C-alpha cells in the first residue's frame, strides 16, 4: 500500500524523504520490522522506541514516525507527530482498510464485570446464529480459535489486524473489552464503535490515572466514540454521572439496573449458591432468566448483555437461552472442587469492591468458615497503599480467616505489599497469617480447612503465570489446589 494512503488523516510534519513509497508492513517493536516497513517509535513506560530507530532501519524500515527530533540517512522518510500512539492507531486502521467500518463493534468498559459480560453477549449472539468474535482478558476468540493477548485490549496495530481477520472470515460482530489503559493510550482510536457498555467504576489502575475523576474521564471517552447505542449501569454512582453526560447525544441511551429506574431491569430475584433466577423487564416484554453464576454481580453483568442484545434486535427467547448456555467462565467464581458443603473457588476479584462482593455472595451459603487467600497487586505509591489497605479491610470484615500472600509483585517490594495489607487487617480486628509464597499459601489454606468451610483464592482467576521481578513463571492455581487436596486426603 502506498504511504500516502496509509497516512491519510494523520497530522504530521515531513522532516525528510519521499511520501511516494510502497509499504509492506508496520511495526512498533524494532525486532518485528521487515523490509519496506514503517517503524512507529513510541515512548513507553519501560523503553523508549526512539532508542531503537537505527535497529529498525537495519531491519529494513524505510519510514520512521517519531515524536522526537532524530537524525537518520537521507533515504529514510521521517514524519514527526505529536503523539506516536495516536499515529500508530491511525496508520494501522488505514493499512488494514479501516476494518471496523465493516463490523458491528461493541466495546465494554468498567472496573469489574467486563469479561463475564463479553461471554454473555457472545453466547446470546451465537444462540441467535449471528457470527461474533471476542477480544478481552481471556484472549481473542474467532471461530473457536483462541489467541492469547498480551493486554486485555491489544495494541492498535494488533487490534486492527484482528479486526481485518474478522472481516476476511466474514464475522459480522465483535464484542471487545476496552480497558482504561487502552482508551488512554490510544489503542482503540480510529475504531468505529456501534455500541458501548459501562459496567461500574471503583478504585483501580490509579497508578496510571492518579485519581477517580481522571479514571472516570478515560472510561467516558468510549461513549463519545459510538454511533448507535450507549448502554449504562444505572445502579452505579459513576454510571449515573455518565448517563447525565451522554443523555442528549445522538446514540440511543439504554440503561439497566436492579435498584434504580432503568430501561432493562431485574425483578423477582432468587439467589442460590450456583445460580440466580430473575425476571428481566424490557420495554417490549419480560422473560425469566437463569444465570449459572451467583449474586447481583452476575445479574448486572447479564443485564448489560441483555441490553446490548435487545437493542440490537435479538428476541427475548434467544437472549434467555444464550444466558443459560453459559455454565461457567474461567476464573470467575469458578468452583474448582466441591464435596457437600466444602468448596474451593478461584475468582479474579482483585479490587476492594470486587473482593467484597465475592465474599458477600458466599456468606449466606457457608456453614463453616470463609478462608481467603489473596494478594494485592498495586505499585508502592499512595494510591497503591490505599488499595492494599482497602482490600485488607475487606478481608478482615468479610472473611473468617485470611492468608495474605503475593499476587504479581513484579518490580515492587514484596515486604511492603504484605505489610501494608496485614496492617489493615490488624486495624480491623481480622484473623490472618502471612505467607508470601502463593503456592504455599494455597496449600496451607487447604491443609487447615474443615468439612464445612469455603476457600476462595482471589486475585488471579484465569491467569496461569505469576510475575516476580522480570520473571514470568508458570503458576496454575487449579493444579495447585487439586494437588494439595490429594495430599490432604492421603495423610
Q: What is the CATH number of the domain that holds 460?
A: 3.90.190.20
List C-alpha distances in Å: 206 to 19, 378, 491: 41, 9, 45
What residues in the chain have per-residue pLDDT under 70? 204-210, 491
Check whether 109 is labelled as a binding-site residue.
no
Of 115, 106, 105, which is closest to residue 136 (Cα–Cα)?
115
Residues sharing a CB contact under 8 Å with residue 114, sequence separation 6 or more, in sequence order? 108, 136, 137, 152, 177, 179, 199
Is residue 121 within 8 A of residue 106, CB to CB? The reply is: yes
| Domain end (from 276, 304, 324) | 324
Check whether 30 is labelled as a binding-site residue.
yes
Looking from the CA of 28 toward its CB, the CA atoms found within 13 Å total: 20
Residues sharing a CB contact under 8 Å with residue 15, sequence separation 6 or more, in sequence order? 69, 70, 78, 79, 80
Burial 300-322, CB ≥16 within 10 A → b, else e: bbbbbbbbbbbbbebebebbbeb
Query: Which residues pair with residue 132 across a beta bridge?
Result: 173
Whether residue 277 is found in the same domain as residue 403: no
Q: For residue 148, tell me if it sits in a domain.
A: yes
**What per-residue confidence (pLDDT) applies to 424?**
97
Global pTM value: 0.91
pLDDT tens-digit profile of 201-224?
987 655 565 688 888 999 999 999
**What per-residue confidence (pLDDT) applies to 380?**
79
Whether residue 88 is found in the same domain as residue 103: no
**What per-residue confidence (pLDDT) applies to 196?**
98
Whether residue 127 is found in the same domain as residue 244: yes
**What per-residue confidence (pLDDT) applies to 232?**
98
Q: Is residue 414 classed exposed, middle or buried when 0-12, 13-18 and 19+ CB atoms within 10 A define those classes?
A: middle
Whether residue 291 is found in the same domain as residue 431: no
Q: For residue 465, tell me if it sits in a domain.
A: yes
Of 141, 122, 110, 109, which is closest to residue 309 (Cα–Cα)?
122
> What does the alpha-carbon distance between residue 100 and residue 103 come to, in Å, rounded to a whole number?
5
Check whether 292 is labelled as a binding-site residue.
no
Check whether 384 is labelled as a binding-site residue.
no
Q: Is residue 378 classed exposed, middle or buried when 0-12, 13-18 and 19+ CB atoms within 10 A define those classes?
A: buried
| Domain end (from 324, 357, 390) | 324
Check whether 385 is labelled as a binding-site residue.
no
Check whether 191 is labelled as a binding-site residue.
no
Our CA angle for 462, 468, 472, nearest 5°, is 60
Mean pLDDT of the chain, nearest integer:
94
| Domain end (from 324, 347, 367) | 324
Whether residue 338 is found in the same domain as residue 360: yes
Q: What domain range is 312 assigned to?
A: 99-324
Check whether 111 is labelled as a binding-site residue.
yes
Q: For residue 329, tell me if it sits in a domain.
A: no
Whether residue 400 is found in the same domain as residue 290: no
Check whether 461 is labelled as a binding-site residue.
no
Q: What is the CATH number of the domain that holds 54?
A: 3.40.1390.10
Check whether 20 is labelled as a binding-site residue.
no
Burial 449-488, CB ≥16 within 10 A → b, else e: beeebbbbbbbbbbbeebbeeeeeeebebbebbeebbeee
Whether residue 145 is found in the same domain as residue 282: yes
How many domains is the chain built from?
A: 3
Query: Which residues pair with residue 39 across a beta bridge?
Result: 27, 64
Whether residue 17 is found in the same domain as residue 74: yes
pLDDT tens-digit profile of 120-159?
999 999 999 999 999 998 899 999 898 888 888 899 999 9
Whether residue 76 is found in the same domain as residue 188: no
Whether residue 86 is found in the same domain as residue 169: no
Whether residue 167 is found in the same domain as residue 309: yes
Our CA angle for 471, 472, 477, nearest 5°, is 140
Of 183, 191, 176, which is closest to residue 134 (Cα–Cα)?
176
Long-range interactions of 78-84: CB distance < 8 A, separation 24+: 78/14, 78/15, 78/16, 78/17, 79/7, 79/10, 79/12, 79/13, 79/14, 79/15, 80/12, 80/13, 80/15, 81/10, 81/11, 81/12, 81/13, 82/11, 83/186, 84/40, 84/41, 84/42, 84/43, 84/49
Q: What is the CATH number of the domain that holds 106?
A: 3.40.1190.10
> What does the alpha-carbon distance between residue 157 and residue 5 come to, in Å, rounded to a whole number?
16
**What per-residue confidence (pLDDT) applies to 136?**
92
Whether residue 166 is found in the same domain as residue 86: no
Of 294, 295, 293, 269, which is closest to residue 281 (Cα–Cα)?
269
**What per-residue confidence (pLDDT) applies to 204?**
64
Amino acid at each position: 500500500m502506498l504511504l500516502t494512503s496509509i497516512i491519510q488523516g494523520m497530522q504530521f510534519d515531513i522532516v525528510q524523504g519521499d511520501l511516494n513509497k510502497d509499504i509492506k508492513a508496520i511495526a512498533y517493536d524494532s525486532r518485528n520490522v521487515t523490509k519496506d516497513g514503517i517503524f512507529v517509535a513510541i515512548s513507553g513506560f519501560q523503553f523508549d522506541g526512539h532508542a531503537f530507530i537505527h535497529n529498525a532501519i537495519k531491519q529494513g524500515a524505510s519510514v520512521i514516525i517519531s515524536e522526537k527530533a532524530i537524525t537518520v540517512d537521507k533515504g529514510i522518510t521521517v514524519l514527526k507527530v505529536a503523539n506516536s500512539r495516536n499515529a500508530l492507531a491511525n496508520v494501522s486502521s488505514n493499512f488494514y482498510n479501516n476494518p471496523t467500518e465493516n463490523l458491528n463493534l461493541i466495546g465494554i468498559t468498567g472496573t469489574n464485570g467486563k469479561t463475564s459480560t463479553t461471554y454473555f453477549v457472545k453466547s446470546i449472539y451465537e444462540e441467535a446464529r449471528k457470527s461474533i468474535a471476542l477480544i478481552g482478558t481471556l484472549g481473542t476468540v474467532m471461530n473457536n480459535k483462541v489467541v492469547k493477548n498480551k493486554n486485555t485490549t491489544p495494541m492498535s496495530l494488533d487490534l486492527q489486524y484482528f479486526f481485518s481477520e474478522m472481516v476476511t472470515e466474514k464475522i459480522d460482530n465483535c464484542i471487545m473489552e476496552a480497558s482504561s489503559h487502552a482508551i488512554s493510550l490510544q489503542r482503540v482510536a480510529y475504531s468505529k464503535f456501534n455500541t458501548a457498555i459501562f459496567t461500574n467504576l471503583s478504585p483501580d489502575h490509579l497508578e496510571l490515572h492518579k485519581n477517580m475523576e481522571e479514571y472516570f474521564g478515560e472510561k467516558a471517552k468510549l461513549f463519545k466514540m459510538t454511533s448507535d447505542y450507549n448502554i449504562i449501569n444505572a445502579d452505579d454512582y459513576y454510571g449515573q454521572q455518565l448517563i447525565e453526560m451522554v443523555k442528549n447525544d445522538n446514540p440511543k441511551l439504554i440503561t439497566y439496573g436492579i435498584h434504580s429506574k432503568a430501561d432493562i431491569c431485574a425483578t423477582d430475584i432468587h439467589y442460590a449458591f450456583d445460580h440466580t433466577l430473575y425476571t428481566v423487564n424490557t420495554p417490549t416484554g419480560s422473560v425469566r432468566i437463569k444465570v449459572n453464576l451467583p449474586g447481583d454481580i452476575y445479574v448486572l453483568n447479564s443485564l448489560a448483555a441483555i441490553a446490548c442484545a435487545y437493542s440490537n434486535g435479538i428476541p427475548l427467547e434467544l437472549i434467555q437461552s444464550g444466558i443459560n448456555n453459559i455454565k461457567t467462565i474461567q476464573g470467575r467464581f469458578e468452583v474448582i472442587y466441591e464435596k457437600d458443603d466444602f468448596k474451593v473457588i478461584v475468582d479474579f476479584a482483585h479490587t476492594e469492591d470486587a473482593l467484597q462482593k465475592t465474599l458477600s455472595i458466599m456468606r449466606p451459603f457457608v456453614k463453616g468458615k470463609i478462608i481467603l487467600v489473596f494478594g494485592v497487586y498495586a505499585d508502592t505509591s499512595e494510591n497503591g497503599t490505599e488499595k492494599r489497605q482497602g482490600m485488607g479491610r475487606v478481608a478482615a470484615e468479610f472473611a473468617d480467616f485470611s492468608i495474605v500472600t503475593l499476587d504479581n509483585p513484579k518490580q515492587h517490594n514484596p515486604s511492603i505489599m504484605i505489610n501494608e495489607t496485614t496492617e489493615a487487617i490488624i486495624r480491623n480486628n481480622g484473623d490472618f497469617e502471612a505467607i508470601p509464597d502463593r503456592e504455599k499459601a494455597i496449600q496451607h489454606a487447604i491443609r487447615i480447612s474443615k468439612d464445612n468451610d469455603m476457600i476462595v483464592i482471589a486475585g488471579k482467576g484465569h491467569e496461569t503465570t505469576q510475575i516476580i521481578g522480570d520473571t514470568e513463571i508458570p503458576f496454575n492455581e487449579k493444579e495447585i489446589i487439586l494437588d494439595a487436596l490429594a495430599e490432604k486426603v492421603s495423610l
